[in-house]
């Protein structure tokens, strides 16, 4: 047994950012630098704990590890149950990596004390969502993230931030209402079948499942909530506005972590709890995913705002992840889990880079940019690597996930994979065309004076670039941890069907 197995690592991952948020709130308002030191130090501690978790993870074990379970509300069968497997491990590590980067990368010019405290509460909610093995506990964490994200958009976003924040909140709150109904109905229907009221994920998934139309309605309730959070076409309209109006740090976390709550929920709860409805309704979800892939790419190519272009690219990339999930095939599902991580790395880096361009030129309009490569060659070089990763060029991380998704989907749902392949081509069109207009050509006087990356900005981007290359060249380090849990999930789906 790993020495850390006896220590409540998972509870510590959630508790540390909450304690850090309280500590930030108690710092003097006159010491803005102290609040940032406390906040960054907290996220670094969380990253260190996540590193210990990853180092102690048993690669060959497909089950949940480091499980921590305590009774919470005994009368309702609700427990504080946390665990991690190969599907959630890398998402936990990704979360722990992106939060310090989001705090260190962009500069916050107003009231950074509140900003940092909200970011730490958001980190606790995201980590809790990935670790919860009690369905009701998951719902609590799933809801917790709405509040800090709303304030991060509304308080530190751009000119139309309040409308975008309200749209985000209303969309996701409506989705959560479906989730709450589904969670409660699932628990009480389980009690009817077994006489035991519990919200334990494993007990619900391995026990008797509701038969007839009830199972399909329950799956629909969960799927709608996760479709909004992902978001899947046609409930995606809140995402471009939220990304465009959010601060740079908010966009990094929204794209890199928050959207994964939806895709993770579809895998962890949609497939695991409702194998038969998920398989029977897969053509519907596959069709919506493929529409999202092509629609997101086409609309991205039409954008004049660089940040909005990256936002619509997320709609396309998340469509790939959903497609791989409902292919219900080992390679495709492994590719989807890996692509959740890849999207977080590449799109998080793209939003950081767009934010750095905006802070220099005070505009994101593609038509007002051009020739930046001459003035900022290091910025252009890093943007090139990240852009090629997002396109899915072999040798970088984006290729591996998309390839596995397309191959696996082709084996089970051929024509959906064929249509989705067009999304790969379209991604090259809109990203290369945007890069050409922003970085090539003769620079104007304003663009010619743009400064290049300083050492701090380069250091913030360095971990993302290293992982983009590492996972492209040697994806085995991630897939070895993902595949055992994915194979077990696919076997569960086949058995329960």
Residues 311/240, Cβ–Cβ less than 8 Å: yes
CA distances from 140 to 80, 200, 358, 480 (A): 11, 14, 36, 31
**Cα angle at 311 between 221 and 482, to 5 degrees?**
60
CA distances from 10 to 13, 18, 45, 137 (A): 5, 13, 13, 14
CA distances from 477 to 37, 53, 178 (A): 32, 15, 37
Sign of CA dihedral 414, 391, 393, 341: negative
List, in order, residues 6 or more apart from 399 with CB less than 8 Å away. 392, 393, 472
Per-residue pLDDT, 108: 64
List, in order, residues 6 or more apart from 75 with CB less than 8 Å away. none
Residues 361/368, Cβ–Cβ less than 8 Å: yes
Cα–Cα dist 312/95, whole Å: 22
Cα–Cα dist 85/66, whole Å: 9
Cα–Cα dist 354/60, whole Å: 40
Per-residue pLDDT, 211: 67
The alpha carbon of 389 is separated from its chain's Cα centroid by a whole number of angstroms, namely 17
Per-residue pLDDT, 497: 74
Per-residue pLDDT, 105: 80
Cα–Cα dist 261/318, whole Å: 12
Nearest Cα to 52, choosing from 87, 78, 84? 84
Cα–Cα dist 292/314, whole Å: 10
Residues 465/101, Cβ–Cβ less than 8 Å: no
Per-residue pLDDT, 1: 46
**Could you tell me the mean pLDDT of each successive run of 10 residues in the chain, 497 residues long?**
66 96 88 86 96 94 93 91 96 97 79 89 97 96 94 89 93 94 93 90 85 85 94 90 91 94 95 92 94 92 92 91 93 96 95 93 89 92 95 92 94 90 86 92 87 92 96 95 95 87
Per-residue pLDDT, 66: 95
> What are phi and psi for residue 65, nearest 5 degrees?
-120, 165
CA distances from 74 to 137, 197, 318, 347, 453 (A): 13, 10, 38, 42, 55
List, in order, residues 6 or more apart from 38 with CB less than 8 Å away. 20, 23, 24, 27, 116
Cα–Cα dist 323/230, whole Å: 12
List the beta bridge partners of residue 65.
84
Q: Counting beta carbons within 10 angstroms of the beta carbon of residue 236, is it exposed (0 to 12), middle (13 to 18) or buried (19 or more)?
A: buried
CA distances from 401 to 142, 174, 407, 420, 463 (A): 26, 31, 10, 14, 19
Q: Counting beta carbons within 10 angstroms of the beta carbon of residue 422, is it exposed (0 to 12), middle (13 to 18) or buried (19 or more)?
A: middle
Per-residue pLDDT, 427: 84
């Amino acid at each position: 047994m790993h020495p850390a197995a006896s220590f409540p690592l998972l509870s510590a991952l959630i508790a540390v950012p909450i304690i850090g948020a309280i500590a930030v709130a108690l710092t003097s308002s006159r010491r803005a630098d102290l609040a940032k030191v406390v906040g960054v130090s907290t996220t670094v501690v969380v990253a260190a704990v996540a590193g210990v978790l990853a180092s102690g993870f048993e690669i060959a074990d497909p089950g949940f590890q480091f499980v921590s379970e305590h009774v919470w509300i005994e009368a309702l069968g609700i427990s504080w149950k946390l665990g991690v497997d190969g599907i959630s491990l890398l998402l936990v590590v990704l979360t722990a990596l992106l939060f310090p980067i989001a705090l260190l990368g962009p500069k916050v010019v107003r009231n950074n004390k509140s900003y940092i405290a909200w970011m730490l509460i958001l980190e606790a909610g995201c980590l809790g969502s990935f670790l919860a093995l009690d369905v009701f506990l998951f719902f609590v964490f799933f809801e917790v993230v709405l509040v800090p994200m709303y304030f991060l958009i509304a308080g530190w976003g751009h000119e139309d931030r309040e409308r975008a924040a309200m749209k985000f909140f209303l969309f996701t709150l409506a989705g959560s209402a479906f989730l709450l109904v589904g969670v409660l109905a699932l628990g009480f229907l389980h009690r009817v079948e077994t006489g035991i009221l519990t919200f334990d994920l494993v007990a619900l998934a391995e026990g008797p499942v509701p038969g007839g139309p009830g199972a399909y309605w329950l799956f629909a309730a969960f799927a709608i909530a996760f479709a909004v959070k992902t978001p899947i076409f046609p409930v995606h309209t809140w995402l471009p506005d939220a990304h465009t109006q959010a601060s740079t740090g908010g966009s990094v976390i929204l794209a890199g972590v928050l959207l994964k709550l939806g895709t993770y929920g579809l895998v962890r709860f949609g497939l695991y709890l409702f194998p038969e409805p998920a398989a029977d309704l897969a053509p519907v979800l596959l069709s919506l995913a493929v529409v999202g892939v092509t629609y997101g790419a086409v609309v991205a190519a039409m954008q004049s705002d660089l940040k909005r272009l990256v936002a619509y690219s997320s709609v396309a990339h998340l469509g790939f992840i959903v497609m791989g999930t409902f292919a219900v095939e080992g390679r495709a599902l492994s590719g989807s889990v890996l692509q959740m991580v890849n999207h977080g790395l590449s799109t998080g880096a793209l939003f950081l880079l767009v934010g750095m361009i905006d802070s220099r030129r005070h505009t994101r309009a593609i038509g007002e940019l051009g020739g930046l490569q001459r003035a900022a060659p290091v910025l252009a070089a890093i943007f090139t690597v990240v852009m090629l990763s997002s396109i899915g060029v072999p040798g970088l991380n984006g290729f591996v996930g998309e390839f596995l998704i397309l191959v696996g989907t082709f084996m089970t749902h051929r024509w959906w994979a064929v249509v989705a392949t067009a999304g790969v081509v379209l991604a090259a069109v809109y990203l290369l065309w945007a890069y050409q207009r922003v970085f090539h050509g003769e620079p104007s006087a304003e663009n010619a004076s743009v400064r290049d990356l300083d050492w701090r900005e380069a250091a913030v981007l360095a971990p993302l670039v290293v992982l983009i290359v590492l996972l492209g060249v040697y994806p085995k380090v991630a897939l070895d941890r993902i595949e055992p849990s994915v194979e077990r999930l696919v076997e569960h789906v086949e058995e329960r069907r």
